[in-house]
Structure 1
Amino acid sequence: MVKSSVFTKIQYYNIYYTTFFEISQGLIGVYSGFARKNHKLHGRKKPSFEKIERRL
């Protein structure tokens, strides 16, 4: 029982961290995409957080 519960815990954390990593990578991609778009449009690198929040 102890071994199986430890294994499921590890599996659960593995899945959790994998999904968290993928989500964070996606957010970074969206963020950098907006930063680049804003830089081209307004000539500055400051991204607008409001646009990102609205899209998400």
Structure 2
Amino acid sequence: MLSKDRTTLVVAHRLSTITHADKIVVIENGHIVETGTHRELIAKQGAYEHLYSIQNL
């Protein structure tokens, strides 16, 4: 694992690549709108969940 014991910043358009991240930050128009794990963000049913559901049709 390349990022063990390190902070790694990943910019992703395909959300499936970040589902196992420790922390996900959703940015819209330059502003942070949500943060959390994949499970937390799906449960919030906000911006992340909306984008994730569109990508997984």
Identify the TM-score tier after normalising by the shorter chain.
under 0.3
Bigger Cα Rg: 1
Structure (1 or 2) with the greater strand fraction = 2
Structure (1 or 2) with the greater helix fraction = 1
**Higher RCO by CA contacts (8 Å cutoff, separation 6 or greater):** 2
